[in-house]
Structure formats: structure tokens, C-alpha cells
Amino acid sequence: MPEPPPLLAAEGLGVRFGDFRALGGVSLRVRQGGIHSVIGPNGAGKTTLFNALTGARPPTEGAVTLAGREVTRMPAHRRARLGMSRSFQVTNLFAELAVRENLRLAVQAARGRSAWAFWHAPSRLPGVAEAVEGLLSLTGLAARADARAGSLPHGGQRALEIGMALASDPKLVLLDEPLAGMGVDDVARTKALIRGLAPARTVLLIEHNMGVVLDISDRITVLARGRVIAEGPPAAIRADPGVREAYLGSTGAAA
């Protein structure tokens, strides 16, 4: 049987900053319902790739398609309406508001102008409270729902940010280093959270924790110096000598 079309595809994607070529001819296909990770050493172009895929920085060459529709020059908010959502390397929360309120604002934002009518109390907006409770349960934050977001430990803040990225009920979630700075227990919880997103949602992940990447990914793309040097299932990536030299070998994770 022919392989189904990818949910997200990039063809020959390039990004330049003046004379510096941050990405050079990157192509990848993200299959629906899986977890696809992008790895590589610092400076490989991973976040630049995410920016080009999400509309934060239009590519200087190449094309991006989402669910078969070209979105190369489409702004980020319109891609969000087509089912794309993203978290960032740096936690971006309303630190003084409660966890529940952060999620409520994210749900309202996803629902457009009608959700911001000043004559409706947020608690009475159809479906908003139910959506927030669902996100609290999914992220494991129900017990901290009324805590100030800034008071959460780092792992809890990252879980909250993932919950906010899920507020629009996206088809595709792009997570940029969600495990950065976490302790062992937080890593385990967030790993389980990410694994649980598929197959109902598709996940594209940038992550440096190779143990997690190799364990939860269906497919891995390896970047080095702005180019794809390998792509395949975890076992193939672990065994690839070029990957070992460029990345895994330097961390010892391929042993």
C-alpha cells in the first residue's frame, strides 16, 4: 500500500541571516499520529527549522505544507487555525496568574474574538471550563490548579506550557526542548505526557535528552550545520556512524 501523505512536509527549506546560511535545503515529512524528533548539536539549526515551519521566520527558499496545503508564507496565527501549535525553549507563562487561569486564557485565545465578549463571565463561556478541566487532567496539574503559575517547579511550568499549546486542540504540536533543565522525576512525568499525546495528535519534538528521544520517537531527523545528515527510526539513528560522530558520540548516549 502507498504511504499516506504526511501531515507536515518541508521541501528544500533554507533560511539565511545575511550571508550566513542557517538552514540549507532541509526536507522532512512528519507522519500523522506519530512522534517525530529533530536532534543535532547546538547551532545545527533546529530552532530555526521550527521557526520556518511555524511561520515565525519565513524561509528564504523551499516550501512547507500542512495537511496538503501550502503554508510557506502563511503567518503563524493562520497556521494555528489549521491545527498547528507550538511551545518554546523559554517558558512563556503568566506567572502571577493561577494555573487554571493560564489555561483558560489559552483556551479563550484559541476560540477567537467571541470568547472575549466582556458581557460574558469566563466561567460561563460554553465549553471553556470543560476544556480547562480536561487540560488540567491531561497535564497532571489538577491538584495545583489554583496555585500561582510562577510558584510551580520547573517541570510543572513546562507541563503547563504544553497544556497551553494544546488549548486549541491542535492536530500537530511542535515542542522545543520541553525537558530542558528538568530533574529526573520531572523528566519521567513529561516524557509520559508527550508519549500520551500520540496517536490522537502528531508531535514534532526538539530535544537533547537522547534517552527520551530514542525511547519515544517513531522517527528521528538529525541536523548538523543546517543540513539533514540522517533520518530514520531510532534503531537506525543509534547505529548510524555519521550521527555518532556528529552528535551522539559526543554525549555518550549512543553507547
Residue 192 lies in a domain: no
Q: Which of 228, 180, 225, 183 is nearest to 207 (CA)?
A: 180
Residue 58 and residue 178 in one domain = yes
Higher pLDDT, 125 or 29: 29
Angle made by CA atoms 135, 37, 182, in degrees to the nearest 5:
60
pLDDT at 32 over 60: yes
How much is the average pLDDT of 85-114?
Answer: 84
pTM: 0.88
Residue 139 lies in a domain: yes
Residue 65 and residue 179 in one domain = yes
Q: In what order do the strands lie in the sheet with 219-224?
A: 84-86, 172-176, 202-206, 35-39, 219-224, 227-232
Residue 6 and residue 49 in one domain = yes
| pLDDT computed for residue 92 by the predictor | 76
CA–chain centroid gap for 221, Å, is 14
Q: Taken in order 67, 68, 69, 70, is the CA torsion positive or negative?
A: positive
pLDDT at 120 over 70: no
The mean predicted confidence, pLDDT, of the chain is 89
| pLDDT computed for residue 252 by the predictor | 43
Q: Taken in order 42, 58, 194, 222, is the CA torsion positive or negative?
A: negative
Residue 30 lies in a domain: yes
| pLDDT computed for residue 255 by the predictor | 32
How much is the average pLDDT of 2-17?
Answer: 92
Residue 205 and residue 162 in one domain = no
Q: pLDDT tens for residues 125-169?
A: 668 899 999 999 999 999 999 999 999 998 999 999 999 999 999
Which helix (H) or strand (E) segment is 243 a member of? helix 241-243
Q: In terms of residue numbers, what domain contains 234? A: 1-83+173-184+201-255
Structural domain count, the chain: 2
CATH number at 224 reads 3.40.50.300
Which helix (H) or strand (E) segment is 81 a member of? helix 76-81
pLDDT at 75 over 70: yes
